[in-house]
Structure 1
Amino acid sequence: MNVLAVTGYKPHEMNISSVNDQRIRYIKETIKRRLLHLINEGIQWVLVSGQMGVEIWTCEVVIELKRVYAIKLAIVPPFDGQETRWPESIQQLYQNILMEADFVQLLYESTYKGAYQFKAKNKFMVDKSDACLLMIDEEFPGSNRFFLEEAMHKHKHVAYPIYYMTPLDLEDTMQAMIEEEQINTVND
């Protein structure tokens, strides 16, 4: 495996309305733990479309990991200006992430024209990757279901691993981080 596509929920799909929400720490740590395992398995590139939520948090994690590991970040937004309706703080973060990415290219060289651009984005990400990592709760898949459908279609025809991050994974990470913090507090 060389290229890993990563996607998942947008903040509003997880009821996250603030960049200071503590759950983001646990989500990013879960992403980091999964990526470290996959880097050890040979992943060299992480591919995202740069959407708010899991993809932006993945970008932040990859940028951090690039300091130590030979991992690269590719961002292929579905259209120009996808961030124009985002909160200003996230727009600025997105611009900073774009500057630190190893590869950035628009899928469509225009602004938003229709839902077909999102469908094409899902197909592109699956077609250009060797595996995917998806944060999803199968009971409440949200907009992730469209990416998962595309990934499952490829999975049925070729060896295309689909890795999941579930609410249980997030809970495990949260518990592990709380325990580590408690141990560190006792040792200090």
Structure 2
Amino acid sequence: MDRIWITGFRNYELGIFNNKDPKLTIINFAINKLLTNAIYDDCNWLITGGQLGIEQWAIEEALNLKQTTFPDFQIALMTPFVDFGKNWKTDKQEKLTKLKQSVDFSSSVFNTPYEGPKQLKAYQQFMLDHTDRAIIFYDREAENARARFDYQAMKNYASEHNYPVMLIDLDRLQDYADEYQMRNSDYLE
């Protein structure tokens, strides 16, 4: 079994506030390509969280791939604690609930409400222990991005384990944008 964790920027950190944003087209293109390559390399599970942004977009792309091309691919949505997302706006809570219902497996690492940062650290460890590699959409120059904590945990874990970490930074996203533009002559910047 080969399991991948995809995480990274939150939607607001990228300035993406609706599904029509052209940046989202590029991100979805990148996620789709990365997941497709991982599946061809014998990855059979995406295990990720339910954070707004990269994690939810990864689930959506995985669901599309499962429906169209890879019916045996499995998707798990793991949250750190049971009331994860309870402070979000109603539409965002509804989207999270719909994603939980659409994946093959969904649960929380802690079966209690949020109690403190120790749960988030334990969640990171759970994700590292239950995946074989990671892709993180994060740029080291984005010092205030929350993904920096996951990236540091991944790098620390990888220094002691066989745990490949692929960093998709803003330069790499630009490469995906260029590739997308070459493939789609109707791309608008």
* TM-score (normalizing by structure 1): 0.90
Q: 1:22 corresponds to which residue?
A: 22
* Aligned positions, number: 184
Any unmatched runs of 5+ in structure 1?
none
Of the candidates 98, 101, 119, which is equivalent to residue 99 of structure 1?
Answer: 101
Find the aligned partners of 2:89 and 2:103 in 1 and give their Cα distance: 21
Aligned structure 1 segments of 4 or more residues deviating by more than 3 angstroms = none
Aligned 1:141-152 pairs, distance under 5 A = 141=143, 142-152=145-155
Aligned 1:5-154 pairs, distance under 5 A = 5-67=5-67, 68-69=69-70, 70-141=72-143, 142-154=145-157
Could you tell me whether the CA contact under 8 Å between 1:4 and 1:132 is conserved in 2?
yes
User: What whole-Å deviation, never above 9, does each CA across 1:73-94 have from its counterpart, x for those lacking one?
Assistant: 1111001121222233322221
Q: 2:174 corresponds to which residue?
A: 171
Compute the displacement of 1:139 (Å). Answer: 1.4
Any unmatched runs of 5+ in structure 2?
none
What percentage of aligned pairs have identical amino acids? Answer: 23
SS, match of residue 83 in structure 1: coil
Of the candidates 159, 175, 180, which is equivalent to residue 156 of structure 1?
Answer: 159
Compute the displacement of 1:183 (Å). Answer: 6.7
Find the aligned partners of 2:169 and 2:20 in 1 and give their Cα distance: 21
Find the aligned partners of 1:52 and 1:150 in 2 and give their Cα distance: 20
User: What whole-Å deviation, never above 9, does each CA across 1:78-114 have from its counterpart, x for those lacking one?
Assistant: 0112122223332222111111111111111122111
Find the aligned partners of 1:149 and 1:167 in 2 and give their Cα distance: 18
* TM-score (normalizing by structure 2): 0.90
State the one-letter code of the partner of 1:128.
H
More displaced stretch, 164-173 vs 126-135: 164-173
Compute the displacement of 1:162 (Å). Answer: 0.5
